Amino acid sequence: MISYLTQQQAGNTLTNFGGISGLTPLLGAFIADSFAGRFWTITVASIIYQFACWGLGYVVATLFFAVVEMSIDTIILSYCQDAEEHQGTAHYAPPLLIETFDEQNEVQRIAQ
């Protein structure tokens, strides 16, 4: 967070987060004592918490796999372009990728 915020902005953000985190239980206690009761307050808060965790996990997983898929596509595309430029032999591709494609070509040759 500090890498793209100034120190003052980062300090303010962390202070606000800490303050809100500290006051949220007090708000929950007030709601439980005044309106809803302890059981319903804990039940509703737990359900909201579970949905928030699930939603955050879903978003993080979706973004992660989208980035991984884009990077794999980029690597394969660069391999193909490199092979085209050098008449079928890739000069600048990662060795593990070349080894993988060579193994697949061997399997295809044996199958034919």
Report domain extents, the chain: 1-36, 38-111
pTM over 0.75: no
Which structure tokens are listed for 33? 């004592």
Q: Which residues of the chain have pLDDT under 50?
A: 1-2, 107, 110
Give the pLDDT of residue 1.
Answer: 47
Judge whether 39 and 61 are in contact, CB under 8 Å. no
**Paired tokens of 65:** 């796999």
User: Where are the strands (E) in 1-112, listed by range?
Assistant: none
**Token code pair at residue 39:** 């059981």
- Find out whether 94 and 100 touch, Cβ atoms under 8 Å: no
pLDDT digit string, tens, across residues 23-54: 888 888 888 888 888 788 888 888 988 999 89
